[in-house]
């Protein structure tokens, strides 16, 4: 039986990317084509369907109701196709799971604990994809995501892992060179290690405001756009960083980092475990990893409290 009507398949791929990003520019970057090529493919698909899929506005791109309904069906169809193709190519075995997470979570929290999972589940292979934003990562490219959010993204099953307490940290060597830091405002007389990030990470401005400290210009600032690199600068004795309790535990326990002042802030944001709401094919290893992760978080919280 001939399958019809079939739309132009290249146009479907372009449409899915543009609708997911709500941006022709980002879709073009993802697919390694020009913005004009994406626009032509979308126009070709709209001509074929006889319906507009996007509301084109100078300020932003939005889906029409038809476009939104069509996007949901197209994305699920492409996910099914990608899954079937992956099985044929053996791109991902049943026992391999992909965990996408931030560079900070990967290097400071997950990797040090992963040997425990590997020891108890030697038949499951873990692939870690580190990126500081989940935007642009297709749902078909991972099984579990671990990220810090004030509000988790829609369309995902979000399991809260832990809230965070945030406080200043520095190396003992750096602290020895400073005048006594008895109060949070004394930190202004040192070098502040500043995270430049567009994500949900708490910054120094918010921390000082929540601590009730009137902020003044610090003596020095060192700006970094990567949290593990920022912590490495703190370990090097280059300044004071904001430390997330769950990420800093090993460094504080070992004495490599210390807390120069006792002031801390409980965040309202959380680290979440994210999963697609309706995975095309749930791998056997995902449930084992999920349960290991929840048990680990429960154990860590008991140790902290």
List domains and CATH numbers for the chain.
Answer: 9-89 (1.10.10.10), 96-160+269-304 (3.40.190.10), 164-268 (3.40.190.10)
Contacts of 39 (CB under 8 A, 6+ apart): 24
- Beta-carbon contacts of residue 95 (< 8 Å; ≥ 6 apart): 123, 124, 125, 283, 284, 285
**List of residues 6+ apart from 286 with CB closer than 8 A:** 97, 143, 144, 275, 279
Q: Would the CA dihedral through 194, 216, 189, 218 be positive or negative?
A: positive
Q: What 8-state DSSP symbol labels residue 155?
A: T
pTM attached to this predicted model: 0.64
CA neighbor of 69 nearest in space, from 91, 89, 44, 51: 51
Q: Which residues of 22-43 are buried (b: 16+ CB within 10 A; e: fewer)?
A: ebbebbbbbbebeeebbbebbe
Nearest Cα to 170, choosing from 265, 258, 261? 258
- Could you list the pLDDT tens digit for every one of the 305 residues in the chain? 677 788 888 999 999 999 999 999 999 998 989 999 999 999 999 999 999 999 987 778 899 999 999 999 999 999 888 877 776 655 455 678 899 998 889 999 999 999 999 999 988 889 999 988 888 788 778 889 999 888 888 888 899 998 888 999 999 999 988 888 878 888 888 899 998 876 667 788 888 888 788 777 778 889 998 899 999 999 999 999 999 988 988 899 999 999 998 888 888 888 899 988 765 556 778 889 999 999 988 876 655 55
Residue 274's Cβ-side half-sphere holds a number of Cα atoms within 13 Å equal to: 25
Residue owning tokens 């809230």? 163
Measure the CA dihedral 255/149/301/208, to 10°. 50
Q: Answer whether 140's CB lies under 8 Å from 83's CB.
A: yes
């Amino acid at each position: 039986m001939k399958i019809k009507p079939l739309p132009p398949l290249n146009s479907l791929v372009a449409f899915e990317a543009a609708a997911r990003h709500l941006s022709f520019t980002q879709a073009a970057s993802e697919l390694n084509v020009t913005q004009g090529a994406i626009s032509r493919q979308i126009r070709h698909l709209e001509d074929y369907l006889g319906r507009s899929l996007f509301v084109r506005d100078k300020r932003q791109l939005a889906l029409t109701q038809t476009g939104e309904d069509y996007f949901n069906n197209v994305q699920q169809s492409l996910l099914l196709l990608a899954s079937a193709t992956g099985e044929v190519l053996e791109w991902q075995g049943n026992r391999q799971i992909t965990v996408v997470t931030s560079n900070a979570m990967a290097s400071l929290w997950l990797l040090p604990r992963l040997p425990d999972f590997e020891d108890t589940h030697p038949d499951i292979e873990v692939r870690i994809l580190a990126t500081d934003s989940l935007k642009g990562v297709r749902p078909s490219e991972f099984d579990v995501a671990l990220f810090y959010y004030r509000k988790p993204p829609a369309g995902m099953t979000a399991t809260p892992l832990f809230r965070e307490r945030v406080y200043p940290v520095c190396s003992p060597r750096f602290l020895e060179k400073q005048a006594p830091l008895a109060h949070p405002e004394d930190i202004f007389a040192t070098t502040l290690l500043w995270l430049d990030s567009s994500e949900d990470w708490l910054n120094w401005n918010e921390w000082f405001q929540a601590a009730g400290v009137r902020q003044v210009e610090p003596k020095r600032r060192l700006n970094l756009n990567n949290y593990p690199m920022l912590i490495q600068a703190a370990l090097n004795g280059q300044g004071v960083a904001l430390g997330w309790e769950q990420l800093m535990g090993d460094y504080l326990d070992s004495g490599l980092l210390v807390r120069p002042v006792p002031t801390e802030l409980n965040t309202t944001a959380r680290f979440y475990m994210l999963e697609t709401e309706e995975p095309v094919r749930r791998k056997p290893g995902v449930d084992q990893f999920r349960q290991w992760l929840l048990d680990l978080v429960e154990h860590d919280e008991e140790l902290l409290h």
